[in-house]
A and B are shown apart, each in its own frame.
Chain A
Amino acid sequence: MDSKKKLAHLYARAGFGLRFADLQQVDHLTVKQTTNRLFKASDEVVPLKVVVTNSTYKDADDALTKKMFLQQQRQLQKDLNIAWVTQMSKGNAQLREKMTLFWHNHFACRTQNPWYAQQLNNLHREHAFGNFRTMLLQVSQTPAMLQFLNNQQNKKGHPNENFARELMELFTIGRGNYTEQDIKESARAFTGWGFNNNGEFVERNFLHDAGPKTFMGKTGNFTGADIIDTLLQKKETARFICSKLYKYLVNDTPDAAHVNTMADVFYNGNYEIAPVLELIFTADWFYEDKNIGNLIKSPVDFIVGLNRQFYVDYKNPDVLLQFQRTLGQVLFNPPNVAGWPGGKSWIDSSSLMYRIKIPSTVLNDGVIDFAGKTDPEDEAALAAMPNINARKDVNTPAQSQPNWDEFLAAIPPGTSKTAIAHLLLATPLSNNLMQMINKATNTKAMAIELVSTPEYQLC
């Protein structure tokens, strides 16, 4: 295979797409060298710092103060979302952000507290390709997750099984590998795990059930950390995570042999994530035709990829939220604890229409005439708005500024139109696309057309 095509594939999966500027840097490198470079560029952890404190209101506060407070919180949620999209779009730590997005979906969580949301997100970023055990343990102790999965209410004598159930079903071992009894017993081990008013993890010993529990065939006075360790001792956990990683980075349909190879590395390496990623990015099978241009980009992949490729700035960044809403993926608002199902479920008549329209809107500073639905959690704010029923027919100018000079300047002189198309699209070029390319009179117009195709939805 063409080495440029390989690099484009690597950048599409380990990041949000290859730019001509990136290609200049890595054109002469091997896949192995480029992989190292991607890791190196992600060495530094740049946390999001939009939310500066954990603020709450007091019960004694009057209604107006509370209302103002909730408005502020909602604004911070928006700011946090935009800050992340911007960091993905502009930052150098592509692999770190791509993996943060993976864990954001794996440990899907919702919280109305933007400080908690930011904290969890930064944790995913910090451990993005670090140690899975460390991340799992820390995630389990964040206020965001403790609150979301009701562990704050998990008390001796009145166990709440929500966290224990999702820990097994979604975060570690997967369905079919545990019993209802395992859920009941392990829920008792997590009794007392909670957080205080400062948002710090606390083990509330007076609420902890210290009695013996029988979990997966073993009996003991297990704590929450013991349960997590028992789950990680099961090879199924390594396989479950690797299968999910495979779907995210390689193919919708996992290949059992490849997943097993990954799981061996993951399990034997004490759940270090980086070696598994290295294995994928340097494996021959990763570059097989059937694994190229076959994945449907998530809405965030799509938006971020477009922003990066064309260096887009948004004067009104709310537009980025509007895109997420209409395309069906609002960061920090997963549909449930199982996350976004992904793949074909991203695409229906309307979401595809918007994906075809958005590039020309963004790149030509057009008008956005779609709004998307309100998130269910924003209903209270909506109910209190006097003009609630005046919505619908929207016409928002995109107010976006691509940097065409930067895009065009990075294309080496003499690059053919076809070569440009090959970099923008991961799929083979059909007759129709070839006609489009041949007819194009300038690179800019051609680029806009190419990214407005169904082919551009794939990576």
Chain B
Amino acid sequence: MKRRDFLKSTTLASGAFLIPSFLKPLEAMASADMTGYKNLVIIQLSGGNDGLNTIIPYGNDIYYQKRNTIAIKKPEIVTLNDMQGLNPNLSALKEIYDQGWMSVINSVGYPNPDRSHFRSMDIWQTGSEANQFLTTGWIGRYLDANCAVNKDPYTAVEVDDTLSLAMKGSKMKGIAVQNPAKLYQSTREPFFKELVDEHYSTHLNEDNLGYLYKTMIETYSSANYIQQTSKTYNTTAQYPQTAFAKQLKSVAKFINSGLKTRVYYVSLSGFDTHTQQQNQQGRQLKIYGDAVAAFVKDLKQAGKLDDTLVMTFSEFGRRVEQNASNGTDHGTANNVMIFGGKLKKAGIYNNAPNLAQLDNGDLKYEVDFRDVYATLLDKWLNVNNSQILNRNFAGLNFV
């Protein structure tokens, strides 16, 4: 055993002493061997990120024809290959890309695309068809399918103050944690604690009241587990001073401390750029790129990058042609970015978007987003995707 590993496991073991006696079973978990424990991190860009100005198809003249005032000029682009390159605000990702830790999947979407934010986000979060309404999220159904093994809410953690639909199953739900210390404190307020203590040992019914108490007790013990485990890890890596970077820093702290969480969820807003797009999107992309670069390096440093996969998506891309207000309107297919230490196919995964063959001015999707999910479910989370996506998807080969 390497010295560093030894030190890590002893801190974990001593951390376990802080756990109250009635939560004993967790102690065993905290000191379990964490090698090869795989994490999935989902980053949601809300508002419909303009993928064409993110991973820019600079090698295609149509891009410059359709985007008179908002196209990114060739000399500014951070080239990835002879067709596509990064928006200069994402320059921090170049290093990550060059290391083989980044993959770009072009033209991801679904049949009969919906251009309203809330509906398309609903479709991405539930993994439904365009004309189907599901009341559970795809990660939530993953939790349901796995509830015999992963029975705690912290199996899926959203770093935010509320929980997204994506994280809600019918039996199981993830947990939203913006700040572990704060969550811990509020569950330890005497009144809350009293309610939990009284019901901890009693048998809970299957009815709604039983469900409420079950949720409360799970919150109580998860808050403890997350706080006690994560505080054993001291982050030394440098992160930018943004709220989003702070959230990713929390995710890294959770992963590096050995939290037994399979899925993390983080969102960044502000991508609905109908007017003055260049400044607005540039600002958000810089926040995104700088934070993700810091995050990936932090995980690499801690030896966790090989066990982590990051997926970034947005509810839709934008129209190929810009509008009259130096912005772009709602479109359809978009790119999905993947990060990880063990990518089977790093770099640009498939052909750049076809700007010549459009569907009423919008990109035609070439990869169904559920094929991306299927890949993550089958090859990373080790469950059969048809159980979660309601039909079988072939999946891709990026991992």
Contacts and interface: CB of A to CB of B under 8 A. Distances in A.
Contacts of A294: 207-208
Interface string A279-316: 00000000000000111100000000000000000000
A275 interface: no
A348 B271 contact: no
A328 B162 CA distance: 9
A351 B133 contact: no
B47 A389 contact: no
Contacts of A454: 195, 209, 212-213, 216
A108 B175 CA distance: 28
Interface stretch (A128-136, A372-380, A413-421): A372-380
B327 to A, nearest CB: 9
B168 interface: yes
Interface string A363-377: 000000111111111
A81 B34 CA distance: 49
Given A371-B161, A383-B280, A454-B213, A296 B271 contact: no
Contacts of A380: 47, 272-274
A388 B269 contact: yes
Nearest to B280: A383
A293 B212 CA distance: 13
Contact of B153 (A165, A338, A344, A349): A349
Contact of B208 (A296, A383, A391): A296
Given A353-B186, A454-B212, A377 B118 contact: yes
Size bracket of the A interface: 35 or more
A348 B163 contact: yes
B198 interface: yes
Contact of B173 (A326, A348, A371, A390): A348
B336 interface: no
A63 interface: yes
Given A325-B162, A348-B175, A383-B270, A63 B195 contact: no
Nearest to B165: A335
Contacts of A165: 131
B17 interface: no
A379 to B, nearest CB: 3
Contacts of A328: 162
A399 interface: no
Interface in A341-359: 341, 343-345, 347-353, 356-357
A452 interface: yes
A389 B215 contact: no
Given A328-B162, A389-B242, A347 B269 contact: no
Contact of A458 (B208, B218, B243): B208
Interface string B101-134: 0000000000000001111011000000001010
Interface centre among A325, A333, A430, by most chain B C-beta atoms within 10 angstroms, is A430
A336 B178 contact: no
Given A349-B222, A382-B272, A341 B161 contact: no
Interface in B160-217: 160-165, 167-168, 170, 173-176, 178, 182-183, 186-187, 191-192, 194-195, 198-199, 207-209, 211-213, 215-216
B395 interface: no
Interface string A445-459: 000010011110110
Given A379-B47, A388-B269, A458-B209, A373 B164 contact: yes
Contacts of A455: 209
B117 A350 contact: no
B312 interface: no
A374 B163 CA distance: 12
Interface in B47-105: 47-48
Nearest to B223: A349
Contacts of A389: 242-244, 270, 283, 287
A349 B162 contact: no
A337 interface: yes
A109 to B, nearest CB: 12
Contacts of B183: 353
B277 to A, nearest CB: 9
Contacts of A333: 118
A335 B272 contact: no
A379 B121 CA distance: 12
A335 B168 CA distance: 14
A432 to B, nearest CB: 4
Contacts of B165: 335
Contacts of B182: 369
A382 B178 contact: no
Interface in A421-459: 427, 430-432, 449, 452-455, 457-458
A383 B45 CA distance: 12
B21 to A, nearest CB: 21
Contact of B133 (A293, A338, A376): A338
A377 B116 CA distance: 8
A357 B161 CA distance: 14
A347 B170 CA distance: 11
A357 B213 contact: no
Contacts of B117: 376-377, 379
Given A384-B275, A449-B191, A349 B176 contact: yes
15 contacts: A294-B208, A344-B170, A348-B173, A350-B176, A351-B162, A352-B215, A374-B46, A376-B315, A379-B269, A383-B280, A384-B280, A388-B269, A389-B242, A389-B270, A458-B208
Given A350-B163, A384-B276, A449-B191, 6 more contacts: A296-B208, A350-B175, A352-B212, A352-B215, A379-B269, A454-B195
Interface of A: 63, 110, 165, 252, 293-296, 325-326, 328, 333, 335-338, 341, 343-345, 347-353, 356-357, 369-377, 379-380, 382-385, 388-392, 427, 430-432, 449, 452-455, 457-458
